[in-house]
Amino acid sequence: GSQLQLEDTAPRIVEHPTDLLVSKGEPATLSCKAEGRPPPAVEWYKDGERVETDREDPRSHRTLLPGGSLFFLRILHGRRGKPDEGVYVCVARNYLGEATSRNASLEVAGE
């Protein structure tokens, strides 16, 4: 039979992250889902800097989930630093282009 040719398409974000208020030490998930052909690679940026996940650093407390969401095993927050607090965006890329999600702010409660 004739093969249906699917056109390659540039990424688009179909689920955007939303602002989170999380207690220190609790898990959290910033949602992001992107579509495209070929399936886009998702990266996260916090305050403009790329977020490292356990793909780069096996000891990281941040995991990139298969769908593209960013999962925090526990929100790190101490007197000396607030490594997880900030403004996040997710960026999906394939060879046809890239799509950037809305900004989502992550705040730590009770400090």
Per-residue pLDDT of the chain in tens (111 residues, 90 and over written 9): 667 778 999 999 999 999 999 999 999 999 999 999 999 999 999 999 999 999 899 999 999 999 999 999 999 888 888 889 999 999 999 999 999 999 999 999 976
Indicate whether this model's pTM tops 0.95.
Answer: no
Residue with tokens 């939303």: 18
Where does residue 59 rank: exposed (0-12), middle (13-18), buried (19+ CB within 10 A)? Answer: exposed
Residue 52 near residue 41 (C-beta atoms within 8 A): no
At 1 the pLDDT is: 64
End-to-end CA distance of the chain: 64
Domains observed in the chain: 10-108 (2.60.40.10)
CA–CA distance, 13 with 26 (Å, rounded to integer): 27
Structure tokens belonging to residue 65: 């989930």
Structure tokens belonging to residue 94: 């394939």
Beta bridge partners of 108: 22
